[in-house]
Amino acid sequence: MAQRRVTLADVAERAGLSTTAASRVLNGREGTRLSEDARQRVLAAAKELGYRPNPAARSLRLNKTATIALISDTVVTTRFAGAMIRGALNAARERDHVVLITETQGDPDIERDAIDAMLHRQVDGVIYAAMSSRRITVPPQLLTLPTVLLNATSNRRLPAVLPAEEEAAYAVTSAVLDRGHRNVAVLGRNEAYERDAHLSLAAKLRMQGIRKALADHGHRLAASEYTEDWDVPGGFDGMTALLRRPNRPTAVICMNDRLAVGAYNAASEAGLSIPADLSVVSFDDDPIAEALRPGLTTAALPHEAMGQLAAELVLDANPEPGIRWVPMPLRERSSVAPPAG
Amino acid sequence: MAQRRVTLADVAERAGLSTTAASRVLNGREGTRLSEDARQRVLAAAKELGYRPNPAARSLRLNKTATIALISDTVVTTRFAGAMIRGALNAARERDHVVLITETQGDPDIERDAIDAMLHRQVDGVIYAAMSSRRITVPPQLLTLPTVLLNATSNRRLPAVLPAEEEAAYAVTSAVLDRGHRNVAVLGRNEAYERDAHLSLAAKLRMQGIRKALADHGHRLAASEYTEDWDVPGGFDGMTALLRRPNRPTAVICMNDRLAVGAYNAASEAGLSIPADLSVVSFDDDPIAEALRPGLTTAALPHEAMGQLAAELVLDANPEPGIRWVPMPLRERSSVAPPAG
DNA sequence: CTGTTAGCGCTTTCAA
DNA sequence: TTGAAAGCGCTAACAG
């Protein structure tokens, strides 16, 4: 077992040629023409022997590794992350590359080490990903090799892949407006997020899309409720407050699905039924959205497509800098109905 | 920019020594003793220059790459997967290794290619992971290098890391028995799973733990309900059936959290309140368990610890074959109360 | 205590 | 149309 690896020399010998010739054939070098006969012999020999070039030797020679790095703050750990990784993996495999994954956990020391390690390993490019979409500062070392931002933007002229939040917000809002709702509230307002792109890109873009849809339909926001965090308790408290207001909304746009879960709970506790008494729409398509009863209509974060695109961009010759907005499909389930009465 | 990498030769020159000497110092070779002075000079030079060995050159020479591969069917994509990856990443980083991730998507062709690619890259070891814990057939090529099974067992004598399902089932069951419940049902029985380890390890082990706890407490299972899949609709239908039985249970053990979500829905629809009218316990600690109201008491799949242990085992000199059972912590929330009356 | 030399497997200049 | 030889950066026999 563990038989000796077959090397280029083996292939050459079997083909009755030099390693030079074998190398040229196998790499499809155009400059120098070998006889068709020689070509075939090399190809045959390589096939019979099951030859595969030694990547270490290759990269020592070429300074290339057929490897890309996926560096993220803590992406890997999110429920959404899997899809991003899968997308990147698929794109990489299609181009015969493999993917090295690192997590920096937001720690600058770990990050520096991680990036250094990747650079020393001579990865051919890096995908620098953020868990939640936001504006980041790109470590300068990354500027020396092909880098693509995933779920993030920066001050640098780099390609970046982001979910088309504004467009999605427009669609989500329209879904509710088109059913005849006029008294529409937003749950999860947070000025800090909306103002600071370093905290969140989604908050601002989603609000813009919502406002634009309302304006285009000739309406305005009936109410909006602050929430410190976009989580279940926040949603519960916020929705409870919203329901206590005079003239309570007939539809609520939640800034994400976890808020929506809280909103569901609050509605249920208030004896309101969804969607009969209250329509709910949201963002993310968290796995939870499907498990809710009734199923939650929400705009899905297109993580797999994003991961895929990011990997493709990294492996592109030289991609244009700038943002790629990846569409967020609207998953229509059962949480929207026309307003009562 | 992109200034020339600093090589061992640079360090040696600066230290006024040969590369051999520098190499020996840097690798802490014991056999040959260098003068303390020389040692210090090399160390200093390396530091000043910011020297890091070229991994490609190193692995060409040593057939080692300081890399481990994480090969999984579709682990990467699961909600749980992130934690496994994170655990493995941390353990690897601590030992100055990096990790290559691949997903086979259950496709044998992709799997063969992926494994081949990893072997050719001379990874130092592989973690072979399954999404849901089950018995698998290990591709023979993997037997030529250190391999650890993660969330899986096999017919081979390999180290394997699994959640301590039986122990957890015992704890989960006891949690309900200790509160005084006597009329306890199981939701999610599935003979096919329980019998066939290639489909699921959890089904059988969980049932064993449940039975043992009941026996030890001098009770027996009041009812058990079949479910084709362990998902939300299955849980809903199963629980609905359970509630229609004469002498309905006061507590239900769900085989996983998604079933429990369905059970919650069914209980709510039947006008039953949890935990006053019905106690619910479960397995997995899916993120959803925390979002439910009331919070679901459940035994957590210890994915991060498992990933970490797997990586440690791979990097161990030669780990004993056999199963490592990783404890599943019981997350006690609010879904359990003494039976009514 | 330290250095010379060979060689890991590959690609590429240069020469034939 | 083909091959010899050098060299990527490193480590390890073998000498001294």
Q: Residue B52 and residue A120: Cβ atoms within 8 Å?
A: yes
Domain identity same for B158 and B267: no
With a cut of 60, say whether residue B30 has pLDDT above it.
no
Domain identity same for A227 and A283: yes
Q: What is the mean pLDDT of residues B148-158?
A: 94
What pLDDT, on a 0 to 100 scale, did the predictor assign at position A274? 96
Q: Residue B144 and residue A100: Cβ atoms within 8 Å?
A: no
Check whether residue B90 has its CB closer than 7 Å to nucleic acid strand D.
Answer: no
What pLDDT, on a 0 to 100 scale, did the predictor assign at position B229? 92
Site from B68, B80, B85, B123 to mutate, A interface, most A CB atoms within 10 angstroms: B85
Q: What is the mean pLDDT of residues A227-252?
A: 95
With a cut of 80, say whether residue B42 has pLDDT above it.
yes
Residue among B45, B53, B2 nearest B27 (CA): B53
What pLDDT, on a 0 to 100 scale, did the predictor assign at position A294? 93
Site from B123, B293, B304 to mutate, A interface, most A CB atoms within 10 angstroms: B293
Residue among A85, A26, A96, A58 nearest B113 (CA): A96
Rounded to whole angstroms, the Cα distance separating A86 from A78 reads 13
Chain A environment of B120 (Cβ under 8 Å): 52, 54-55
Å between B230 CA and nearest CA of chain A: 13
What pLDDT, on a 0 to 100 scale, did the predictor assign at position A30? 57
With a cut of 90, say whether residue B80 has pLDDT above it.
no
Residue B341 lies in a domain: no
- A106-134: burial string, b at 16+ Cβ within 10 Å, e else: eeeebbeebbebbbebbbbbbbbbbbbbb
Q: Note down the domain range covering B174.
A: 165-301
Domain identity same for A12 and A25: yes
pTM score: 0.92
Domain identity same for A148 and A267: no
Residue A61 lies in a domain: no
Domain identity same for A241 and A176: yes
Residue A157 lies in a domain: yes
What pLDDT, on a 0 to 100 scale, did the predictor assign at position B186? 98
Residue A136 lies in a domain: yes
Q: What is the mean pLDDT of residues A128-155?
A: 92
With a cut of 70, say whether residue A51 has pLDDT above it.
yes
Domain identity same for B116 and B227: no
The fraction of chain A above a pLDDT of 90, given in percent, is: 71
Domain identity same for B22 and B108: no
Residue A117 lies in a domain: yes
What pLDDT, on a 0 to 100 scale, did the predictor assign at position B34? 74
Q: What is the mean pLDDT of residues B229-238?
A: 94
Chain B environment of A122 (Cβ under 8 Å): 55-56
What pLDDT, on a 0 to 100 scale, did the predictor assign at position A1? 35
According to DSSP, the β-strands at A330-331 and A297-300 are antiparallel
How many C-beta atoms surround the C-beta of residue A177 within 10 A? Answer: 18
Bases along strand D below 7 A from a protein CB: 1-5, 7-15
The fraction of chain A above a pLDDT of 70, given in percent, is: 96
Residue A338 lies in a domain: no
pLDDT tier, A38 (very low <50, low <70, confident <90, very high otherwise): confident
Q: How far is CA B175 from the centre of its chain?
A: 24
Q: Residue A288 and residue B287: Cβ atoms within 8 Å?
A: yes
What pLDDT, on a 0 to 100 scale, did the predictor assign at position A75? 59
Give the model confidence (pLDDT) of A191-216 as tens digits. Answer: 999 999 999 999 999 999 999 999 99
With a cut of 80, say whether residue B31 has pLDDT above it.
no
Q: Residue A79 and residue B79: Cβ atoms within 8 Å?
A: yes
CATH number at residue B48: 1.10.260
CATH number at residue A202: 3.40.50.2300
| Identity of the highest mean pLDDT range in A275-284, B70-79, B280-289 | A275-284
Domain identity same for B77 and B174: no
Domain count, chain B: 3
Q: Which residue is nearest to nucleotide C12 (CA to C1')?
A: A20
Chain B environment of A144 (Cβ under 8 Å): 1-2
Chain B environment of A55 (Cβ under 8 Å): 120-122
Looking at every residue in chain B, the average pLDDT score rounds to 92
Rounded to whole angstroms, the Cα distance separating B322 from A200 reads 46
Domain identity same for A186 and A237: yes
Check whether residue B120 has its CB closer than 7 Å to nucleic acid strand D.
Answer: no
Give the model confidence (pLDDT) of A176-185 as tens digits. Answer: 999 999 999 9
- Beta carbons of B324 and B162 less than 8 angstroms apart: yes
Q: What is the mean pLDDT of residues B312-327?
A: 94
How many C-beta atoms surround the C-beta of residue B315 within 10 A? Answer: 20
With a cut of 80, say whether residue A112 has pLDDT above it.
yes
pLDDT tier, B1 (very low <50, low <70, confident <90, very high otherwise): very low
Q: What is the mean pLDDT of residues A78-101?
A: 89
Distances in whole angstroms, Cα of residue B262 to Cα of each of B234, B239, B254: 7, 7, 10
What pLDDT, on a 0 to 100 scale, did the predictor assign at position A2? 43
Task: Please state which of the ranges A64-73, A76-85, A136-145, A308-317 shows the lowest mean pLDDT.
Answer: A76-85
Check whether residue A54 has its CB closer than 7 Å to nucleic acid strand D.
Answer: no
Residue A336 lies in a domain: no
- Under DSSP, is residue A33 helix (H, G, I), strand (E, B) or coil? coil
pLDDT tier, A325 (very low <50, low <70, confident <90, very high otherwise): very high
Residue A58 lies in a domain: no
With a cut of 70, say whether residue A76 has pLDDT above it.
no
Rounded to the nearest 5 degrees, what angle is found at the Cα of A283, between the Cα atoms of A280 and A323? 150
What pLDDT, on a 0 to 100 scale, did the predictor assign at position B77? 58
| Number of helices (H), then strands (E), in chain B | 13, 12
